[in-house]
Amino acid sequence: MSDDTRTDPPYVASERDMLAAFLVFHQQTLLWKVSGLTKEQATRKLLPSNTTLLGLLKHTALVHRWWLRAVFAGEAVPFPWSQEDPDADWRVEPDETVEAIIALYNDEIARANTIIAAAQPDDMPKMAGRQQSLRWILVHMVEEMARHNGHADILRELTDGAMGE
């Protein structure tokens, strides 16, 4: 893994800033866990499921797209999954590169963080029928990223022995 350049969350901040800082920390952590790997390493299937490090990165990029851009901001954005293929966001296609998925991830993270910075915790989503406030979405996103970072810890250690909190 590359050097750890993650930003620690502050000890004191407003609610939104604290939640956003923990989300950023977990966003940076997952990217750190994938850093320095070849496509073969990043897509190695080490579990009975199809979960891979690069698949985790792609999935979480699209989770950010869903919750912040589609649900909260009400943007009409595309997704690869369907009823027939509900796990398409986890799959790394043969023509997808590590660099392309990292770029997708960085783009979705930047867009999500811009949306968060312009909103308040009690703001409600623009997607019709959704009831989750930004507060709920942020807590959910921190939980989602932390859970997947745990998966990434194990996968990275199994891949090349690299460890880090």
| One-character DSSP codes across 1-22 | -----PPPPPSS--HHHHHHHH
Give a yes or no: residue 7 inside a domain.
no
Q: Write down the pTM of the prediction.
A: 0.95
What mean pLDDT comes out for the span 56-78? 97
Domain total in the chain? 1
Give a yes or no: residue 5 inside a domain.
no
Q: Are 39 and 57 in contact (CB under 8 A)?
A: no
> Which residue range is the domain that position 89 belongs to?
15-160
- Please report, for the domain that includes residue 65, its CATH number: 1.20.120.450
Element (H, E) at 77: none
Q: Give the pLDDT score at 45.
A: 95
> How far apart, in whole angstroms, are the C-alpha atoms of residue 164 and residue 26?
13
Q: Is the pLDDT of residue 61 over 90?
A: yes
Give a yes or no: residue 9 inside a domain.
no
Q: What is the pLDDT of residues 29-43, one digit of tens each?
A: 999 999 999 999 999
> How far apart, in whole angstroms, are the C-alpha atoms of residue 154 and residue 161?
9
Q: What is the pLDDT of residues 140-158, one digit of tens each?
A: 999 999 999 999 999 999 9
